[in-house]
Amino acid sequence: MMDQSHDRQLRAELYLRGDTYGTYDAQRDVLQRVHELETENVIDESSVADEWQRIRTLNEDRRDGALATYDEFAAWAQRNDYALEPAFERRARSYVGLSRVDDVVVFPVVSLAIYERDRLQAVFPCSDGERNYRVQDCLDAFERGDERWLTQFDTVTVDRTAPRLEPGLDA
């Protein structure tokens, strides 16, 4: 990896789901790669949130903004004619013995969002219908110095410059 001085001010937000088993090593590998990209000045800033749980409902989301972040990601996907599925899943959840039905989002084990100042550049994982773009694909492009790789995605303006979730780990 080479130090890639740039004026883009790239920020990486890495989301690690905290309620999974057997994924610790894979999550740590991604975390280490993001940390190395920041150390090498390929990205300017990174943050890591490890409190994303598998399923979130509107009632559960008052604390951490996971659904608001998902909605931001969904707006980006729509702008790019991409889908967040199958990694993210939005569906209804019913409860045995109750008439209550909640709209829920099922989150992936690892997801990565790349921002340039106040613009969401890309979200991983995502799909264009023919190809799935993984977190690893984005990290591979950064590591090989391919700054143009992200230009295939259209950006959307966001109303924040920091994650909605409380950082769980420093990258």
Q: What is the pLDDT of residue 150?
A: 92
Q: What is the tens place of the pLDDT at every residue in 91-104?
A: 887 778 878 777 78
Rounded to the nearest 5 degrees, what angle is found at the Cα of 93, between the Cα atoms of 88 and 95?
A: 150
Q: What is the pLDDT of residue 164?
A: 67
- The SS3 of residue 82 is coil
Instruction: Examine the pLDDT at 41 and tell me if it is beyond 50.
Output: yes
Rounded to the nearest 5 degrees, what angle is found at the Cα of 70, between the Cα atoms of 154 and 20?
A: 120
Domain ranges of the chain: 10-157
**Positive or negative: CA dihedral 57, 21, 167, 115:** negative
Instruction: Examine the pLDDT at 6 and tell me if it is beyond 90.
Output: no
State the Cα–Cα distance between residues 171 and 42, nearest whole angstrom: 14
Q: What is the pLDDT of residue 5?
A: 47
| Percentage of the chain lying above the pLDDT 90 cut | 51
**Positive or negative: CA dihedral 132, 38, 166, 81:** negative
> Which whole number is the average pLDDT over 107-120?
93
The per-residue pLDDT of the chain, averaged, comes to 84
- Tell which wins on pLDDT, 80 or 67: 80
Give the model's confidence band at 56: pLDDT under 50 very low, under 70 low, under 90 confident, else very high.
Answer: low
State the Cα–Cα distance between residues 81 and 88, nearest whole angstrom: 16
> What pTM does this model have?
0.84
- The SS3 of residue 78 is helix
Instruction: Examine the pLDDT at 32 and tell me if it is beyond 90.
Output: yes
State the Cα–Cα distance between residues 23 and 99, nearest whole angstrom: 35
State the Cα–Cα distance between residues 124 and 115, nearest whole angstrom: 12
Helix (H) or strand (E) holding 33: helix 24-39
Instruction: Examine the pLDDT at 62 and tell me if it is beyond 70.
Output: no
Within 8 A by CB and 6+ apart from 72, the residues are 120, 156, 158
Give the model's confidence band at 1: pLDDT under 50 very low, under 70 low, under 90 confident, else very high.
Answer: very low
Q: What is the tens place of the pLDDT at every residue in 142-159?
A: 999 997 999 999 999 988
